[in-house]
Amino acid sequence: MPHYSYLLFDADNTLFDFDAANRNAFHTVCRQCDIPDTDETFALYERCNNTMWAAFDRGECTKDFLVVERFRRFLEAMALDRDPALCNRIHLKALGESTLLLPHAEEVCRTLSRTHRLYIVTNAVASVQRSRLHRSAVAPYITDAFITDNYWATQTSIDDYIPFCEYFVIPYDSWGFLLLALGLYLIVKDAEGFRRYMWSIMLTFGFATIFCALVPNGQDLRPAVMEHHNFCTWLLQNTYNLDTNTNVLPSVHVLGVLDALYAVHRTPGLRRTGWRTFADIWGVIIICSTLFVKQHAFIDVVAALVVGAIAYVIIYTIIGGRRDRRMAAAGKEVPCGEHTDP
């Protein structure tokens, strides 16, 4: 009989008592949102829930859409005016806090872990599953959990050491303003600088688009429920709704910042002012914000830094250098930082 060194377990209704946890979570939603808590209403919710998971399995919707849409359909069928996103947040939080195990699950894991490495493989909501696992009695015996989806998950153990901070959504969302403001300045003040800025954006963004099309990727770092309720968490939740957790490597946010900083440092009109220092600080904060709001994993940022460095060499050193030499030979003023301001 062959000996297996690695054993894979499903999570729900294999180790965890999902049926009991799900019923308790629904009870919590009903209590906090003033919804009738009966067997009939739970059965209705389960029909809506199962319909949406079947659609997800067919590739017809994303998981982020599924978890809210199931409550929207349930509330619509109940003719109740409640916030489906709020119901979902309460439900996921309650699920994540549940550590109910099936009978003998802990004993089985403890015994098998002496001779095997144990892993969990599941396609459920990542933040919920990780929260349940870390809180449960089987956590010491599980080597790792693989939470599958239709993409390569980019998070690593490094991301566990990076804290979540909703206040960084402010610099995160200011990204577009930085790129737009610089673009408008260059259009007016430095046509050649604007041209190279656009080339840099097209090269980096184009590479990111092609790479994500060839290697679908995403991350499962977002918190299932916001612990605080303030303007920043409201803004971040809306940002999450608009900006999904997929196609994250390389980080387009980081690439855009690098494109902007390259242009700033190559623009003569910004040389003698504090704009470069201001742009550098702003850019670094935006890059850090991608990690603190859990919109990107650590390797997403590293990959973007590598791609951005290569783009700089191509646009500003190779192509830009050739253009500068041709312009100098023709007696024209060399742009992009190669001359001083009048």
Domain borders along the chain are 6-150, 166-329
- In which band, very low, low, confident or very high, does the pLDDT at 25 lie, cut at 50, 70 and 90? very high
Burial of 24 (0-12, 13-18, 19+ CB in 10 A): middle
Residues 6+ positions from 304 with CB-CB distance below 8 Å:
208, 250, 251, 252, 253, 254, 255, 258
Residue that wins the pLDDT comparison between 12 and 130: 12
What does the pLDDT read at residue 341? Answer: 36
Fold of 6-150: DNA polymerase; domain 1 (1.10.150)
Q: What is the pLDDT of residue 151?
A: 67
Question: Which pLDDT band, with edges at 50, 70 and 90, does 286 fall under?
Answer: very high
pTM of the full predicted structure?
A: 0.62
Between the CA of residue 71 and those of 26, 52, 80, 125, 253, what are the distances in Å? Answer: 11, 10, 11, 15, 32
Does residue 339 have a pLDDT over 60?
no
Distance of CA 269 to the CA centre of its chain: 36
Q: What is the mean pLDDT of the chain?
A: 88
pLDDT band at 149 (very low <50, low <70, confident <90, very high): low
154 vs 63, higher pLDDT: 154
* Residue percentage of the chain with pLDDT more than 70: 94
